[in-house]
Amino acid sequence: MKLVLFFVLAASAYGQLRDIPYLPTNKKHMLDVYVPEGRKKFPVIFFVHGGAWRMGDRSKYQELGEHFSREGIGVVIPSYRLAPVYRHPAQIEDVAAAFAWTVRNIKSYGGDASRIYVVGHSAGGHLASLLALDEKYLKAVKLSRKNIAGVVSMSGVYSISKLEWNFGTDDEERRDASPIAHVAKGAPPFLVMYSQWDIVSLGSQARQFHQALLDAGDRSELVRLPKKNHNSEVWSILKDGDPGERAILGFIDQKMSRR
C-alpha cells in the first residue's frame, strides 16, 4: 500500500489519489483526494458537486482539487448516487458516508481531521448545509456537526418547496429536506455565497438563510459575487485573486472555532 501511495503521489506535483471507495455498494461510492506538496496537518476542503441532484461527478472537478492543493489545502471530492434513479435521501446519505471516510482517513494522507471544511455548489450547497444542520445524517455514521470546521455554501438551495421528482409530494418530507428548517444554535460557521446573475430565487434564499443563522446565534458571512452567474461562480474560484476564491481562503484562514 505504501508503494502504491508513493507512486501516485510522485505522478503529480500535488498528489492525486483517484477512485478510492468510501462504500462498497455502488460505482458512485468513490472519491478523489488531492494532497498539497510538502505539507502536513493541512486543512481540508470536502467538496460536494452540484448538478440538480441528478447530474455531475467528481471527475469534472480535478482542476478545483489541483487549485486548492497548490494553496496548501487538501481536497476530497466524492461522487454520490443521482436522482431520479436514487431519490432523496440517497444523496445526503452518500455525502455523509464520504464525509465519515474523510474524518477517519485524512490523517493518513497528512490532513488535519479537526479542520475539515464542507464546501458545496448549487445542489452541493444544499447537501453541504443539510449535512451540517440536520444531525441525523452524521449520527448515522457515528459523527456530529462538531466534526465540521465550517461550511461554504455556494448558491445552495435552502428551502425545498417543490421538486417532487426527488423530494416527494409530502410537504413535511420536503420541509425536512430543507436546510433552513434545521437552523438552530450550535451550527458550524457558515460562508453563504451567491452570484449577481444567479438562478431566480437563490439570491433571496441565500439572504434568508444567512439571516436565519444569525438569528439563531450562529456565525455566518454573506458574500454576493458581482458579475457572476450560477455556473461561472464555481469555476471562477479556480482563478488566483477571484473574489470567491479569496472569500473561501479567508474563511479557512480565520480558523474559526467549532461550536
pLDDT(32) > 70: yes
Q: Is 209 part of a structural domain of the chain?
A: yes
Q: Is 92 part of a structural domain of the chain?
A: yes
CATH of the domain at 44: 3.40.50.1820
Q: Cell for 191? A: 460562508
- Provide the pLDDT for residue 7: 36
Using a pLDDT cut of 90, give the percent of the chain over it: 89
Count of domains forming the chain? 1
State how far the Cα of 24 lies from the Cα of 21, in Å rounded to an integer.
6
Q: Is 120 part of a structural domain of the chain?
A: yes
Q: How far is CA 75 from CA 37, 58, 66, in A?
A: 12, 11, 8
- Provide the pLDDT for residue 13: 45
Q: Is 18 part of a structural domain of the chain?
A: no
Within a 10 A sphere around the Cβ of 23, how many other Cβ atoms? 17
For residue range 163-203, list pLDDT tens digits in order: 898 999 999 999 999 999 999 999 999 999 999 999 989 99
Q: Model pTM?
A: 0.93
Q: Is 15 part of a structural domain of the chain?
A: no
Domain of residue 69 covers: 23-253
Please name the residues in contact with 140: beta carbons below 8 A apart, sequence gap of 6 or more: 93, 96
Residue 221 C-beta-side C-alpha neighbours within 13 Å: 16
Q: Is 5 part of a structural domain of the chain?
A: no
State how far the Cα of 169 lies from the Cα of 125, in Å rounded to an integer.
22
Query: Which phi and psi (to 5°) does residue 51 adopt?
Result: 125, 30
Using a pLDDT cut of 70, give the percent of the chain over it: 93
pLDDT(154) > 90: yes
Q: Is 9 part of a structural domain of the chain?
A: no
* Residue type present at position 61: Y
Please name the residues in contact with 257: beta carbons below 8 A apart, sequence gap of 6 or more: none
- Average pLDDT for residues 145-156, to the nearest whole number? 98
Torsion of CA 40, 33, 55, 86, to 10 degrees: -100
